[in-house]
Structure 1
């Protein structure tokens, strides 16, 4: 029996994410929360699908958030406003930080033992917000808090398959993506790709491919012409990561995937990563993580990287450090 909860279930990411979770046979109960009443319709609509999960919708009325969260095993948070043309993920912070903070308080007081998967952007800042709220409520378990960076991994797999010239291999391509989940903090390790890039690829081609992975979200924003950002691909990525967590809960071993995690989730593994990075300044980093029944089982080493990727890491660290500090400061700032 696994109860999954989606916070922000009526939104552009929330609806397709809820659909994908409803189709997952490992989920027995699916609670959908949103501040807009259409969430009830979404829940009824999904409840007609012939899969095991019982679906129920909730709004903020009558302690709906608390009821949705009660007994949760895994909570996925896509709540927030979407990115619009010209808006950076940092711009989103001003709006989404408050939303994520309030949801984190509710989780801390109602479902503190649940696995929490944060999609709400900017992930580099919203995950630290959740961590700080959990610390204040003395329920912080770094092994169970994840920033979902899977979309960067999915894009890397797709774009590499395109370069190879065979999209049929896209589901098999594995490219580790480390760092964070915005712009230059996204570091695709193309040198570690499971599938070799074409022999005639140049360094300029690699730089262009890296840039496309880092700023793939801008492609979607532009293509939607101001009507939205990446929703369907993000929902797919979120559901894929959630399934890995559920499979780990169920006892499957050997599951490895990148995720933005607190480095105390595996102190010995983190020490290796910090040594590879050449810095002790980061509390969070998107690492290759081995999952287990309790969450983060191991943080795996970054491994050998190219000189180009070394440059990407150096460029990412100060940006990532600032993003993390911004989230922490939002929670800990003195109240006027």
Structure 2
């Protein structure tokens, strides 16, 4: 089960283990606060920021913060800017792409973000093939398979080091269940499995201390966890999506990856990865708890016991995931790489 001591872990760590981290899409709504949080992370020795514009300005701004890391900004307006940003990076965070607007689903983003992610994955394959790659760009259920296929075509795919960031679903579940039950959200741990959109997000309430929750309350809670992004898009009145909570979630996940690389023990977090759990059903990727280590994923945990209701949700989730993954694969096969 994923550890819930997010803030305790985020800014801790020995200065002996420092890594080069690249943020692709660093001047965007997620990219800027995510870059700030990575600047504050003491496991980072060098922070490279890349975007089509403004990345150098964001880097200059962050460079004034007195933490023990160097910040560099790159853009496509300079020769080999993307290659320089990625050169020999240890961890690559990819929040690049367009945000959701009112009425849009994550799948609506596919036509634009798929091409962006494909091109960035190609650059990663050429410049830092051994990096841990953390995909934030939606729809994650399809963009992670896109990255996998691109890396495969370049002969550098390592399934242990490719991650879809689903941490936002877990922190939402902790927060929302605490509001229902009147508890401290930092003490709530919810195992959220499946994928990272709508009905593919499966919070396993039966594994929490609140398994006796009334059905109507539980149904509303699950729906809110699954569609929490819509709540933010609506509240921002079309001016943005879940950028701040997502940047926090991304920084939490990146910190866990860095902790694993540094050899810390019992680094467990949920993430969307190539998984054996349902591969015999044609589902190559699935989000569940994994243990992270110096080589990336060291163990993929089973989802554990689930209720009959959750089993039905999982069946629906798996059918949707299969289509999402196939869509990502087809996009790469139809592309000219």
TM-score (norm: length of structure 2): 0.92
- State the number of aligned residues: 318
* Cα RMSD after superposing both structures: 1.2
Query: Contact (CA 8 Å) 2:278, 2:284: kept in 1 or not?
Result: no
List per-residue Cα deviations over 1:177-201 (Å, max 9, x = no partner). 11000000000111112xx2386x3
Q: Which runs of 5+ in 2 are unaligned?
A: 1-17
In 2, Cα distance between equivalents of 1:66 and 1:188 = 39
How does 1:311-330 map onto structure 2 within 5 Å? 311-330=312-331
How does 1:20-31 map onto structure 2 within 5 Å? 20-31=37-48
Partner of 1:331: 332
Q: Which runs of 5+ in 1 are unaligned?
A: 264-269
In 2, Cα distance between equivalents of 1:262 and 1:334 = 22
Query: Contact (CA 8 Å) 1:163, 1:198: kept in 2 or not?
Result: no
In 1, Cα distance between equivalents of 2:58 and 2:115 = 25
Deviation at 1:243, TM superposition (A): 0.2
Say which of 43, 47, 68 aligns to 1:52. Answer: 68
Deviation at 1:171, TM superposition (A): 2.0
Partner of 2:207: 192
In 2, Cα distance between equivalents of 1:7 and 1:172 = 33
Partner of 1:257: 269
> Is residue 77 from structure 1 mapped to residue 77 from structure 2 by the alignment?
no
Say which of 217, 228, 233 aligns to 1:216. Answer: 228
Say which of 190, 196, 216 aligns to 1:175. Answer: 190
Query: Contact (CA 8 Å) 1:124, 1:181: kept in 2 or not?
Result: yes
Using a 3 Å threshold, how does the CA distance of structure 1 residues 81 and 334 change in structure 2: closer, same or farther? closer
Say which of 159, 165, 179 aligns to 2:176. Answer: 159
In 1, Cα distance between equivalents of 2:331 and 2:254 = 27
Query: Contact (CA 8 Å) 1:163, 1:197: kept in 2 or not?
Result: no
Partner of 2:278: 274
Say which of 131, 134, 155 aligns to 1:138. Answer: 155
> Is residue 42 from structure 1 mapped to residue 58 from structure 2 by the alignment?
yes
Deviation at 1:280, TM superposition (A): 2.1
Partner of 1:266: none
Using a 3 Å threshold, how does the CA distance of structure 1 residues 305 and 113 change in structure 2: closer, same or farther? same
List per-residue Cα deviations over 1:144-201 (Å, max 9, x = no partner). 00000000001001011112213xx2123111111000000000111112xx2386x3
Deviation at 1:294, TM superposition (A): 0.4
Say which of 31, 35, 46 aligns to 1:18. Answer: 35
> Is residue 299 from structure 1 mapped to residue 314 from structure 2 by the alignment?
no
Structure 1 SS opposite 2:265: coil
List per-residue Cα deviations over 1:246-279 (Å, max 9, x = no partner). 011111011111100012xxxxxx2xx339xxx5
In 1, Cα distance between equivalents of 2:211 and 2:136 = 33
> Is residue 106 from structure 1 mapped to residue 123 from structure 2 by the alignment?
yes
Structure 1 SS opposite 2:38: helix
Structure 1 SS opposite 2:264: coil
Query: Segments of 4+ in structure 1 off by > 4 A?
Result: none
Using a 3 Å threshold, how does the CA distance of structure 1 residues 81 and 302 change in structure 2: closer, same or farther? same
Structure 1 SS opposite 2:108: helix
Deviation at 1:46, TM superposition (A): 0.3
Structure 1 SS opposite 2:186: coil
Structure 2 SS opposite 1:18: helix
